[in-house]
Amino acid sequence: MFSAEEIARRVSELGREITDRYRDGDLLVVGLLKGSAIFVCDLVRQIQRPLQIDFIAASSYGGGTASSGAVRLVYDPETRLEGRHILIAEDIVDSGRTLARLLEVLRSRSPASIAVCALLHKRIATQLQEPVRFVGFDAPAEFLVGYGLDHAEEYRHLPYIASI
């Protein structure tokens, strides 16, 4: 679907867009584990301003290829969010359930602003109440792996994104 070169080029562009958007204030990039880990590492190196990084873990897939609908926060950091600009870095927006739940939790902590940067967006999310602010690529309605995306914990290591 997307080659390593295409991904690198788009992540660089996203870094410039984010740098332009967040000129001032305290920026915290929150990666959604495990899928976004590779994306977050590449993305933050392209953002040309001070920032901090943290991670949160949620699960809704288990070993299947479709979201179960039940979202569990597996790791919820205690990082102070109040008054900070929060940028959630997500590997893929699919159903939107996980992201909607995460936004609900993070909004309750009084950030100055909150936005989402997704490497991939399937444009089928019905659970989200606001648009994803930064999008790397529109993705087909297929199950994708590689560049952090997995199927039952396999394929995350691939430098490109492919369809199963």
CATH of 4-163 among 3.30.565.10, 3.40.50.2020, 3.90.870.10, 3.30.465.10: 3.40.50.2020
Whether the CB-CB separation of 30 and 5 falls below 8 Å is answered with no
Write down the pLDDT at residue 79: 83
Catalytic site residue from 54, 91, 94, 138: 94
* pLDDT tens digits, one per residue of 139-151: 998 999 999 999 9
Q: How far apart are the first and last CA of the chain?
A: 10
* pLDDT tens digits, one per residue of 62-121: 555 455 556 667 766 778 899 999 999 999 998 888 888 889 888 999 999 999 999 999
Domain boundaries, the chain: 4-163
Q: Which residues of 109-128 are buried (b: 16+ CB within 10 A; e: fewer)?
A: eebeebbbbbbbbbeebebe
20 counts as catalytic = no
